């Protein structure tokens, strides 16, 4: 990760063997260029290069790997209409204009003027007459930029433009991930609502049987009251699930750039595909993360700004020239005028202003270096957490599925024994409660597993293919 920092440092290192004597004198005055903070080796976790099972190429539109056309359509709408992307595009336009302005500082500045004059002239005979004159002129000024102050400022602005574009890509990735996560959450809420309705139907049937047995005197009213309580306990799950669905739909509508409204559905939660993970994830793929690239370009921009700030402490040579003519009704022929000159501006005493600006630029460069390292470490952590989440949530979902199947069998046995009069109603009631809890937990575990895949895609900076991984490994 820090190989690029050292390359930039070598590229911008001050050359004490410059041809101009002013460079030698100025370099001795301002001292050696401050080095970037010492780099610490940032190594990826060893588990990254272990095989995770057979994998297939993952497309750049990674959300399509879940196999739901409705999800693909929602992500496309969000990437087209989300207002945050509009704001990011405006920031790119601002950075592009700043880069053009910085480049324009390196070109000659040409100005034109044509001042007019009116007055009176007196001839040799003492006769006054009116005179009208004009002096059109063109002036050119050019900064030779001997020590690269303007060049480094232009390169810093260009790096900042690249950082702004990377920031836009970070927003795009975050929006796509938020839509995918929100859609998975919505489908999980839909399935929770379906489970609650199925359980409510089963509780209604149990309540009907308990009422009939109590009316015939076969059982006491205790079982009837227990059945009624369980029915109402399940009934209150429906409005809570419907409220959560409504709020989740509104959240997704906001991501889509729309007013609150219903969200189209596609496949149910249990039919969403679990994307395949390649047989190993090279750490260098993390360089495709837009936030890491943004931090990298920010470091480049601050490093070049430091060069520009230090160059401002050196003498500045500017060339100026002007040419024009003097036109007047009092003159028989126009008079040509021109001037060529050069000026050297060098700071002698500024109260430490330029030195303070250079120190501030050095501090900003160091902050960007530490921020870049922190972003790299955060990227490693997010990928490792996501890989663990994919594994463990899958194991948890399998365990909940086995528990759900076992409790479904226990409920069938308890219901048969209760109808035959071999067991009390409390046995069937406990089995119903356990099955409901296991089904809701299974829905949540499946949603967590799919969300872990979304988090992994976001942590890796989006989609990649097996060919891309092979190229990086080579």
Taking the domains of the chain in order of start, what are their residue ranges? 3-108+147-313+353-473
Query: Measured between alpha carbons, how far apart are the two ends of the chain, in Å?
Result: 17
Question: Which stretch of 116-125, 185-194, 258-267, 358-367 has the lowest confidence by average pLDDT?
Answer: 116-125
Pick from 23-27, 163-167, 250-254, 323-327: least confident: 23-27
Please answer whether residues 199 and 234 qualify as being in contact, where contact means their C-beta atoms are separated by less than 8 angstroms. Answer: yes
Q: Indicate the pLDDT class of residue 189, thresholds 50, 70 and 90.
A: very high
The closest of 224, 371, 219, 351 to 295, measured between CA atoms, is 371
Q: 249 pLDDT exceeds 90?
A: yes
Q: Measuring CA to CA, which residue among 256, 119, 207 is closest to residue 429?
A: 207
CA 466 to chain centre: 24
Q: What is the pLDDT of residues 291-350, one digit of tens each?
A: 888 888 888 888 888 878 877 777 777 777 776 666 555 555 666 666 777 677 767 776
Architecture per CATH, domain 3-108+147-313+353-473, reads as Up-down Bundle (1.20)
For CA atoms 141, 144, 147, 151, the dihedral sign is positive
Return the closest-CA partner of residue 223 out of 427, 464, 383, 443.
Answer: 427
pLDDT the model gives residue 121: 57
Tell me the pTM. Answer: 0.77
Phi first, then psi: give them for residue 163, nearest 5 degrees.
-65, -40
Nearest to 186 by CA among 260, 262, 254: 262
Whether the pLDDT of residue 60 is over 90: the answer is no
Average confidence score pLDDT of the chain: 78
pLDDT of residue 314: 72
Tell me: pLDDT of 208 over 90.
no
Residues 83-119 as b/e (b if ≥16 CB within 10 A, e otherwise) read eebeebeebbeebbebbeebbeeeeeeeeeeeeeeee
Q: How many CB atoms lie within 10 A of CB 218?
A: 11
pLDDT at 199 over 70: yes
Neighbours of 412 (CB within 10 A): 13
Asked if the model's pLDDT at residue 212 lies above 50, the reply is: yes
């Amino acid at each position: 990760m820090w190989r690029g920092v050292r390359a930039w440092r070598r590229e911008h290192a001050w050359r004490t063997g410059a041809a101009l004597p002013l460079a030698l004198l100025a370099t001795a005055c301002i001292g050696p260029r401050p080095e970037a903070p010492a780099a610490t080796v940032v190594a990826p976790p060893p588990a990254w290069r272990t095989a995770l099972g057979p994998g297939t190429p993952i497309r750049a539109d990674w959300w399509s790997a879940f196999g739901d056309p409705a999800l693909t359509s929602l992500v496309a709408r969000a990437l087209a209409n989300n207002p945050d992307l509009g704001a990011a595009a405006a920031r790119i336009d601002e950075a592009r204009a700043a880069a053009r302005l910085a480049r324009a500082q390196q070109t000659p500045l040409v100005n034109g003027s044509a001042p007019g004059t009116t007055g009176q002239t007196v001839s040799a005979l003492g006769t006054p007459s009116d005179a009208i004159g004009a002096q059109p002129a063109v002036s050119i000024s050019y900064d030779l930029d001997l020590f690269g102050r303007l060049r480094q400022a232009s390169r810093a602005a260009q790096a900042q433009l690249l950082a702004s574009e990377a920031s836009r890509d970070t927003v795009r990735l975050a929006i796509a991930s938020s839509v995918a996560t929100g859609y998975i959450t919505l489908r999980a809420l839909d399935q929770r609502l379906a489970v609650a309705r199925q359980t409510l139907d089963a509780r209604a049937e149990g309540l009907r049987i308990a009422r009939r047995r109590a009316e015939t005197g076969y059982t006491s009213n205790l079982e009837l009251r227990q059945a009624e309580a369980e029915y109402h306990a399940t009934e209150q799950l429906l409005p809570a699930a419907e409220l959560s669905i409504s709020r989740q739909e509104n959240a997704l509508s906001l991501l889509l750039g729309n007013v609150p409204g219903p969200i189209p559905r596609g496949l149910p939660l249990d039919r969403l595909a679990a994307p395949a993970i390649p047989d190993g994830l090279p750490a260098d793929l993390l360089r495709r993360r837009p936030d890491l690239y943004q931090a990298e370009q920010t470091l480049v921009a601050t490093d070049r700004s430091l060069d520009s700030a230090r160059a401002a402490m050196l003498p500045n040579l500017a060339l100026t020239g002007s040419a024009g003519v003097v036109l007047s009704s009092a003159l028989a022929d126009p008079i040509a005028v021109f001037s060529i000159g050069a000026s050297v501006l060098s700071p002698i005493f500024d109260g430490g202003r330029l030195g303070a600006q250079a120190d501030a630029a050095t501090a900003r460069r160091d902050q960007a270096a530490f921020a870049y390292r922190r972003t790299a470490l955060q990227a490693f952590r997010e990928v490792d957490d996501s890989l663990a989440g994919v594994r463990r949530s899958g194991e948890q979902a399998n365990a909940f599925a086995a528990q759900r199947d076992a409790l479904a069998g226990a409920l069938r046995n308890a219901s048969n024994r209760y109808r035959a009069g071999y067991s009390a109603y409390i046995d069937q009631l406990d089995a119903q409660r356990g099955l409901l809890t296991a089904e809701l937990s299974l829905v949540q575990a499946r949603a967590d597993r799919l969300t872990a895949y979304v988090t992994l895609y976001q942590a890796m900076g989006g989609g990649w293919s097996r060919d891309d991984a092979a190229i990086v490994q080579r």
